[in-house]
């Protein structure tokens, strides 16, 4: 067993610091905007559709390009693609703060998403390559724990920036962090051998992007226009047609974007389904709770950022602790999903403007602990089982599955929430001005929060079922 003074282990922990810094950059960028979204919406006087796509454009492009950049990294080198991601994300963040209108901002969010995909699709693989197998769980626990730290700092930072410095600094704060991450990564990361020069699956990429775009458009319009809207029906129909077409095309492709054969085993299939459900239950929580405090309770962005800290605190505590425990990743994943469901169930049953904060805080903390525990267990479980020859593609697929859950979570939650009030009040929900209107409007919105939490709670329970089914079957004795 390697000691802490082993050169390979020393290098592994330096690599962990680089990849963790990348995760911090992405995590802070996302969580600051979740809290400060109402400030940005009010500045641009954006409507409900535009407001949703400030968030959804990033999630869509990031998710659709994760596997692509995992494949590109296999061909061009993970170090090169990883560092290029830092550079692009930093430049896009600088330009986003200079946005003259909301659609220019959305465009810069798209560029941020491409840079983030280059980072996220390779960070876990770089960690897995650097650490000895017996130390991987510890490294993964620290790596996932840094996401919790980012989400811990992000809400408070986003609220403070929005109130004190202006919405532009929500993006500009990423610039020095991105430059630091680029420099540290260039100094530490070693070049890795490149894979064979095989063509990228352009058709597969195009179909996946089209299918996700159609689904997300249908979800984002369902709450405001209703399920019978032509946009909703068309988007759902396009997705229904493209989903089986993607499976057919990818099975016949020589070098598929989504090599479904890599996930044909029982454990990997159910572990990825559990990851999807956990992301679906987890991703929109901070956004929904931030809107609850601002739109229903009428607090400012900074106070809302402080109020949701129990979620990242729970993740920050649970992730490294779970990685250090002598418990199998399988058990950690199950326990994490059940804790998440318990926290979401508490929020569902107590959703009201007059609920004491300690009850809400307890539910948020338990949900955060559950997510941190699950992410450490599930990620370690999956990475240990991956074929070493195509880690970039496989990990990109794993992260993409999780990010599809994130995309649907945000789109679905915003749709359910906004659908609880009339069309004339939906802009006030995103702008967090609804609490100034009437108790009746706030009461309607609270029904929306209850329904949103109920959906997330049900998905968390489904994730617990899939995590339980992800147990590896012991091999028969020869």
What is the pLDDT averaged over residues 180-201? 76
Length of the chain in terms of residues written: 478
144-158 per-position pLDDT tens digit: 667 666 766 676 777
Residue 476 reports pLDDT greater than 50: no
pLDDT for the residue numbered 199? 65
Residue 474 reports pLDDT greater than 50: no
Output the CA–CA distances (angstroms, integers) from residue 426 to 313, 409, 440, 444, in the order listed.
31, 19, 14, 11
Q: What token pair was written down for 46?
A: 């954006």
Of residues 147, 137, 139, the one with CA closest to residue 30? 147
Q: What share of the chain is helix, strand, coil (3-state, %, to 5)?
A: 80, 0, 20
Task: Say if residues 257 and 205 touch (Cβ distance below 8 Å).
Answer: yes
Residue 77 reports pLDDT greater than 70: yes
Task: Name which of 79-83, 205-209, 215-219, 348-352 the model is least confident about.
Answer: 215-219
pLDDT-derived band at 465 (thresholds 50, 70, 90) equals: very high
Distance of alpha carbon 30 from alpha carbon 27, whole angstroms: 5
Higher pLDDT, 247 or 334: 334
CB atoms within 10 A of CB 328: 15
377-387 per-position pLDDT tens digit: 887 887 776 65
pLDDT for the residue numbered 251? 80
Q: What token pair was written down for 253?
A: 């492709």
Those residues with Cβ within 8 angstroms of residue 248's Cβ, 6 or more apart along the chain or in another chain: none
Q: What is the average pLDDT score of the chain?
A: 79
pLDDT for the residue numbered 293? 84
Please report which residue ranges of 165-300 form alpha helices under DSSP H: 168-172, 174-188, 202-225, 230-252, 266-282, 285-291
Distance of alpha carbon 285 from alpha carbon 281, whole angstroms: 7
Distance of alpha carbon 354 from alpha carbon 141, whole angstroms: 37
Q: Can you list the domains of the chain with their CATH numbers? A: 7-189+257-469 (1.20.1250.20)
Which range has highest mean pLDDT (57-61, 85-89, 393-397)? Answer: 85-89
pLDDT-derived band at 391 (thresholds 50, 70, 90) equals: low
pLDDT for the residue numbered 367? 93
pLDDT-derived band at 289 (thresholds 50, 70, 90) equals: confident
Distance of alpha carbon 104 from alpha carbon 92, whole angstroms: 11
Distance of alpha carbon 62 from alpha carbon 68, whole angstroms: 10
What is the pLDDT averaged over residues 178-203? 77
Which range has highest mean pLDDT (200-204, 306-310, 436-440)? Answer: 306-310
DSSP conformation letters of 60-75: HHHHHHHHHHHHHHHH
CB atoms within 10 A of CB 134: 9
pLDDT for the residue numbered 477? 38
pLDDT for the residue numbered 104? 93
pLDDT for the residue numbered 311? 84
Of residues 122, 18, 26, 114, the one with CA closest to residue 70? 122
Residue 475 reports pLDDT greater than 50: no
Higher pLDDT, 137 or 102: 102
The CA R_g of the chain, rounded to the nearest whole Å, is: 21
Name the percent of the chain lying above pLDDT 90.
16
Distance of alpha carbon 57 from alpha carbon 52, whole angstroms: 8
Q: Tell me, rounded to whole angstroms, the distance of Cα 224 from its chain centroid.
A: 24
28-70 per-position pLDDT tens digit: 777 677 777 778 888 888 777 777 788 778 878 887 787 778 7
CB atoms within 10 A of CB 198: 11
Q: What token pair was written down for 238?
A: 């396009």
Crossing angle for the helix pair 102-130 and 357-385, to the nearest 10 degrees: 50
């Amino acid at each position: 067993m390697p000691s802490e003074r082993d050169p390979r282990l020393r290098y592994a922990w330096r690599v962990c610091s680089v990849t963790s810094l990348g995760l911090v950059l992405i995590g802070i960028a996302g969580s600051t905007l979740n809290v400060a979204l109402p400030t940005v919406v009010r500045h641009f006087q954006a409507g409900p559709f535009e407001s949703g796509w400030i968030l959804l454009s990033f999630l869509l492009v990031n998710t659709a390009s994760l596997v692509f950049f995992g494949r590109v990294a296999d061909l061009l080198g993970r170090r090169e693609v990883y560092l290029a991601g830092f550079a692009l994300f930093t430049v896009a963040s600088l330009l986003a703060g200079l946005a003259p209108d909301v659609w220019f901002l959305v465009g810069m969010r798209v560029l941020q998403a491409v840079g983030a995909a280059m980072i996220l699709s390779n960070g876990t693989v770089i960690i897995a390559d650097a650490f000895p197998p017996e130390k991987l769980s510890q490294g993964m626990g620290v790596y996932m724990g840094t996401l919790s730290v980012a989400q811990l700092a992000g809400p408070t930072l986003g609220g403070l920036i929005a109130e004190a410095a202006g919405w532009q600094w929500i993006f500009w704060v990423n610039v020095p962090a991105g430059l630091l991450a680029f420099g540290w990564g260039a100094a530490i990361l070693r070049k890795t051998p490149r894979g064979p020069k095989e063509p990228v699956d352009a058709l597969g990429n195009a179909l996946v992007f089209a299918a996700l775009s159609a689904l997300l458009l249908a979800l984002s319009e369902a709450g405001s226009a209703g399920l019978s809207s032509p946009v909703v029906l068309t988007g759902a129909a396009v997705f229904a047609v493209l989903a089986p077409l993607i499976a057919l095309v990818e099975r016949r492709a020589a070098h598929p974007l989504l090599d479904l054969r890599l996930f044909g085993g029982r454990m990997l299939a159910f572990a990825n389904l559990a990851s999807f459900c956990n992301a679906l239950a987890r991703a929109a929580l901070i956004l929904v709770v931030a809107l609850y405090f601002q739109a229903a309770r009428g607090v400012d962005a900074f106070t809302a950022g402080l109020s949701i800290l129990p979620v990242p605190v729970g993740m920050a505590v649970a992730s490294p602790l779970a990685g250090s425990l002598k418990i199998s990743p399988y058990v950690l994943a199950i326990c994490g999903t059940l804790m998440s469901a318990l926290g979401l169930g508490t929020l569902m049953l107590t959703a009201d403007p007059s609920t004491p904060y300690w009850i809400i805080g307890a539910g948020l903390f338990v949900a955060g602990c559950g997510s941190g525990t699950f992410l450490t267990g599930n990620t370690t479980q999956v990475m240990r089982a991956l074929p070493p020859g195509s880690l970039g593609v496989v990990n990109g697929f794993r992260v993409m599955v999780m990010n599809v859950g994130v995309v649907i979570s945000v789109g679905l939650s915003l749709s359910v929430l906004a659908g609880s009030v009339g069309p004339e009040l939906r802009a006030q929900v995103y702008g967090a001005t609804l609490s100034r209107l009437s108790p009746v409007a706030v009461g309607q919105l609270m029904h929306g929060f209850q329904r949103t939490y109920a959906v997330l709670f049900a998905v968390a329970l489904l994730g617990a079922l899939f995590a339980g089914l992800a147990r590896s079957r012991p091999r028969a004795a020869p």
